[in-house]
Chains A and B, each alone.
Chain A
Amino acid sequence: MRLYEYEAKKVFETVGLRVPRQYGVIHSPADLDALALEFPVMLKAMVMIGGRGKAGGIKKAKDLAEAKAIAEKLLKLVIKGYPVEALLVEEVVSEAGACYLGVTTNPATFSVIVMASAEGGVDIERVALEKPEAILKREIPANDATLPAATAREFASFLHAGLGGDQSLEAGLQEAVAKLYQAFQQYDCKVAEVNPLIVTTDGTPIAADAKVVLDDNALYRQGALFELLGIKESRHDVSELTRDEQRARDAGFLFVDLLPQDAVKDPEKLYVGLVPGGAGYGIFSIDEVVNVGNRYFDGQAVPVNFMDSGGGPTLARVAEMFHLLMDKEIVDVIVTSRFGGISSCAVFIRGLIQCLRDRHERGLRMLPVHGRMVGTDLPGAREYLTRAKAETPESLKDLEIIVGNQKIMADVIREGLAKGLEFRAKQTA
């Protein structure tokens, strides 16, 4: 979970890393009147996206009138698709030098890696590419709770060498890097970053910007931090959920739309809804539909969704998984696979049949469902399916579930696509 700048700064303050004085967060120019400001002040757009300085999201104001004018403009800004809804108002820090400090996990080794550069305040990614020697990186493989003093000293002298200036700077820099590291560990961060870390004219390092991404897996034990920041529940980092993604979330399973929410249907294409088993196969079956479509159907097949039922779904959840896709206008056919290792084929087939009967009775839109089931509780599931087809042939006429593994899923998908095309042709005729 990503924190806003003002939240990240609060985090840094708790470990004693200096940040500029914060006057407050405003949502309208009028809010400025309530703040006790000492001019000049900085106004910073609160968006969770990098490069906001370049996009004109950070401005300095010398008095209240200018501040209000700037606030007016900034609050109308949209940065890389994110509308600016709040501004952070803070003290202006006089700087003698700017560095970069970052702590994260090395994705190759999974060890903590600490990075610093005396060339802060600019596009650090470019520095990394063009002048890698300007960045010092050290891994901490033992995962110490506090940064080993020798390493902290090494960073301090590296930064001091780059910044120049008085020898007395080093103590402050050493402390700053150690504190950032401490915050990273203490608050279970994925990323803790300061860019720029300003060294003021009197030699104090101050975190002029702050970025903190918390480890979602560890949020459960960061209750005190949530309280400090006044956050009630964890936030979503990624873009807003679509209508159906929200519907699935409410029903307790994971669903991702692969097409825009209101995508226009191309009559040349066959839109395939997927009810796979397991997250890994969920991703793989998307590829499989495209590949089979390319190989046998002139690339007509378009997968519509990713879905993960989670382990051992209930009957009601299985039914809802199918309801959701049948309610989705764009879907032409549903392909499903149940490899019942841990979860039960019997629950799966009952849920699916319940959905189809229910829709038939209520006169809702019905789509062909084609798939395969193998695994746990198969004999019971097969018997249920046979009986159900005999009892309510009308509502289950477009349901075909292959029982057992005489055909691999790729072949089942191929049949499913053929069936979808046939069904659609009948509908149009």
Chain B
Amino acid sequence: MGRVPAHEGLLCHLIKYARPDLVEKIAEAQQIETIVVGLGRQGTRHAGMMRDFGTTVTAGIAAGRGGQRIHETIPVYDSVADCLSEHPQIAAASIWRHYSSARDAALEVIEARIPLVMLITEGIPMRDVRDILAAARARKTVLFGGNTPGVIFPPEGVKIGMLPDVFYPEETSPGEFGPRGVTIISRSGAILYHMSDALASAGIAQNAVLGIGGDAANGSTFQDLVPLTMAYENTDVVVIAGEIGGSKEELLAEDIGAHPEKYPKPLVALISGAHAPEGKTMGHAGAIVAPGQEFGTFRSKKKALEAAGVTVVNNQTDLIDAVKSKLNGKTYFEVSRYYDKMKTTWEALPKKPEWGTLITRVAPNSLLISGYPLEEIIARGTLLQTAHLLVKLELPSAKALETHEVAARKAARLPAPPVERREGQDLSAALAACFLIDSELAAIPQTGKDGPVGKTVFALGRFARYLAKLLGNEAALDAAGAKEPFSGIVYRAVTGEAELVTDRARMIETMIVASVDHGVTPPSAQATCIAASVRADYQMAIASGVGAITDVHGGAGAKAAAFFRQCAEKAEAEGIDQSDATHALLTEYMQRGQRIEGLGHRVHTQDPRRNVLWSMAERWGVAGPCTAVSKIVGDIFEKVRGMSLPINVDGVIGAIVADMGLRTDLAKALFVYGRVAGLSAHYFEEVASQPQMRRINFAEAVYKGKAARSFPD
């Protein structure tokens, strides 16, 4: 759909009044960034509805909830200042706080120089309102409310507040919207819908609908906004909706009389309450403030406005006629387009239930982690870099990475928890036990801005120690130099080799990175998410995920390694081709009804991790006969079984592990190592962005993270 560009709309025109410096940035970014202040039920709900409408909701503000996310994608900051330090372009805020704390929220927003503020809160004490108005005057803030339903700009497709989408902009050709139209300014929300509905039913477009608020005292009023909107070149007529009570309409009339040059365009006023009983009249003192002036009644408003030359109407039919005549019969769109749109909106089937993850996009033959293709990460990233990316969704700075290195090294040096692997016990079960009783890990805080990533990095360091302990490699680990890179530490812990061979260490790290994550659906990720949903602590949740990695899930590498080694040995021993040896062994396996592990994948036909692992194996000089077999086994399988079951990442890792002359069960150790990073990310995402104890349907998860981007060299 052809929306009006952000910098050409009326919304930007209003922003320009208070903050001309923002306009250029808006034109550049082609978006107007907004925040939602106060994330109770209403604020949270409407943050999602605004975003769905098309508004750029950059962040939510709620003290004590910094680091969380609402609607899975909208980050939460503790304060407006925190948010602005990362998003300096915020141009509008809506405030949804309770009336008892609305003042503080409004002052915070206004003093941060956010130019447009929608104060949704109803019933704020007058004394607090006066403080808010004093601040707004000092900053030239365009303040709507208290008790505003918000504002909506149909041509730009932006709304801030709670107005439902019942409006229609100028349409230059079907689907191409223009900025011209009538601007509506109203005290009441419900009247706005009925006014717009009436005008739209006559083909009259609304380029903006502005609710100034129903409370007795509020920020911008008619005499502020009518001139401001009339100064916008694409506004043809301004319509205001007033009602009995207060003196806003009379003050507008007075201002028109005093400064007619500020009101160069036609103005129509719909005033309601002609037949309502007289409400509470202004008190004694009010009458002394403005002696002899009648105000607050329908009569006084109509009289004052008509004396100022404003057309006053009191019903929908007259409203349509009045606006039509001001426009000389001009219409802005085909009326049927409006009816069709409303019909489509209201008859739309309920949305398919879904929930979002920002970590990994899993698609056939493609894996993106926060937008970066996993094969590029495998080729160029380190484990700690990848862990940081998984948890924080952005790559670490050089400085942050250095901090992580130090922290991980330190964690690896601390003594292992007293876990002994029982005879025949699955390695992952013993590793899970380590997590559960590790008091060093438990002592690391997991909250705060850098809590999650710090905890993850520490856990990855600890994991080296767990492995070393369970595999009997502690002596090798302890031989590491004080400044040895973390990849060296991992290498020692995994292999038990006292001598660091850099290329082999790099290969080990590469395979770990290749295993980090595969979205929320693997059973290990599900187990961790469920533990996170009931807010189990980090150690418990990671142990749940690690414990779910069994022979069935994630255990293929070890068996594949054994098979490839067998093929290579048979070729060697019998002096035959590797393909012949593989063919023979495969056939034997089939005849015995034995499964070949490391083949096939439920999502990928061409696993994106496969080729990069093969080429890294070449690069680090570890590729041998097993790797060679892994490259041909898929084709041979197809010949033997007649079905295509290409090799998967477990298979390739198994082959490389075998070629490196390592214990085959290390294939699984590497897989678990990598997954600790991925599970950590899922744990923290669940805690930060989902309600407690939600019912999780993993099939409904949708990737809502960053679009594809290239991993830096």
Contact = CB atoms under 8 A, between A and B. Distances in A.
A128 B288 contact: yes
B126 A217 contact: yes
A374 to B, nearest CB: 7
Contacts of A292: 315
Contacts of A281: 188, 190-191, 193-194
A178 to B, nearest CB: 17
B272 interface: yes
B417 interface: no
A287 interface: yes
B204 to A, nearest CB: 12
Interface in B255-302: 270, 272-277, 280, 282-292, 295
Contacts of A300: none
Interface stretch (A5-13, A162-170, A184-192, A393-401): A184-192
Contacts of B284: 50, 124-125, 191, 193, 211
Given A107-B289, A409-B197, 19 more contacts: A106-B289, A110-B129, A143-B127, A188-B125, A193-B284, A217-B99, A217-B123, A218-B128, A283-B273, A283-B276, A286-B275, A286-B276, A287-B272, A287-B274, A288-B316, A291-B318, A341-B190, A374-B342, A409-B316
Interface string B172-202: 0000000000000011111101100110010
Contacts of A378: 346-347
Nearest to B188: A280
A107 B316 CA distance: 29
Contact of B164 (A105, A215, A256, A341): A341
A218 B125 contact: yes
A111 B135 CA distance: 12
Contacts of B129: 110
B194 A409 contact: yes
A112 interface: yes
Nearest to B243: A283
B285 A238 contact: no
B189 A278 contact: yes
B490 interface: no
Nearest to B283: A191
A410 B291 contact: no
Interface in A304-345: 306, 339-342
B688 interface: no
B203 to A, nearest CB: 13
A408 B197 contact: yes
B25 interface: no
B100 interface: yes
Contacts of B244: 283
Given A115-B289, A132-B291, A375-B166, A306 B276 contact: yes
Given A281-B191, A408-B197, A125 B274 contact: no
Interface string B306-333: 0000000011111000000000000000
Interface residues of A, number: 73
10 contacts: A110-B129, A143-B131, A215-B126, A221-B100, A280-B272, A284-B188, A287-B314, A289-B275, A339-B197, A409-B316
Interface string A211-246: 101010110110000000000000001100000000
A283 B274 CA distance: 9
Interface string A405-416: 110111000000
B130 interface: yes
A330 B226 CA distance: 43
A303 interface: yes
A111 B138 CA distance: 14
Interface stretch (A64-72, A134-142, A247-255, A418-426): A134-142
B105 to A, nearest CB: 16
Contacts of B133: 110-111
Contacts of B270: 284
A408 B164 CA distance: 17
A282 B128 CA distance: 28
B126 A404 contact: no
Nearest to B200: A405
Interface in A256-285: 256, 258, 276-284
B316 A410 contact: yes
Interface in B131-172: 131, 133-134, 137, 162-164, 166
B83 to A, nearest CB: 27
Nearest to B131: A143
A368 interface: no
A408 B197 CA distance: 7
A374 B280 contact: no
Interface in B233-248: 241, 243-244, 246-247
Contacts of A132: 291
Nearest to B295: A107
Contacts of B280: 237-238
Contacts of B137: 141
A104 B186 CA distance: 26
B335 to A, nearest CB: 10
Contacts of A16: none
A128 to B, nearest CB: 4
Most buried by A among B124, B188, B288: B288
Nearest to B338: A405
A215 B287 CA distance: 18
A248 B137 CA distance: 41
A379 interface: yes
Contact of A280 (B214, B275, B318, B343): B214
Nearest to A102: B285
B316 A125 contact: no
Given A104-B283, A292-B315, A342 B164 contact: yes
A303 B100 CA distance: 37
Contact of B243 (A137, A280, A290, A376): A280
B251 interface: yes
A104 B216 CA distance: 14
